[in-house]
């Protein structure tokens, strides 16, 4: 294990926006439990598609999109607050 210093642009809770040394742009630190939830949400969409249940797939995909939109909004707000252009 290596200990390093990172730049913290948001609170240190879940989904913190941080910049690693040597990187131009920050990223979002996703905790393991949150990563597992995102993976489970994608699996639900896939399983519904495989069953042909497009209504459930659409609903699950919508919830997943909402979760990702929240992350992206937090990320973009941190960039604006610190005068960092978007990398996209």
H or E element that contains 15: none
Is 90 exceeded by the pLDDT of residue 11?
no
Average pLDDT over residues 37-63: 97
Q: How confident is the model at residue 13 (pLDDT cuts 50, 70, 90)?
A: confident
Instruction: Note the pLDDT tens digit of each residue in 45-56.
Output: 999 999 999 999
pLDDT at 43: 97
User: What's the full length of the chain, in residues?
Assistant: 88
Average pLDDT over residues 7-28: 94
Is 80 exceeded by the pLDDT of residue 12?
no
């Amino acid at each position: 294990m290596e200990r390093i210093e990172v730049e913290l642009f948001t609170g240190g809770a879940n989904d913190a926006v941080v910049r690693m040394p040597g990187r131009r742009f920050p990223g979002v630190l996703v905790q393991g439990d949150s990563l597992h939830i995102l993976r489970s949400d994608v699996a639900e969409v896939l399983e519904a598609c495989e069953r042909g249940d497009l209504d459930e797939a659409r609903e699950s995909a919508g919830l997943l999109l909402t979760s990702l939109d929240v992350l992206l909004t937090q990320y973009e707000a941190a960039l604006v607050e610190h005068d960092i252009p978007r990398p996209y």
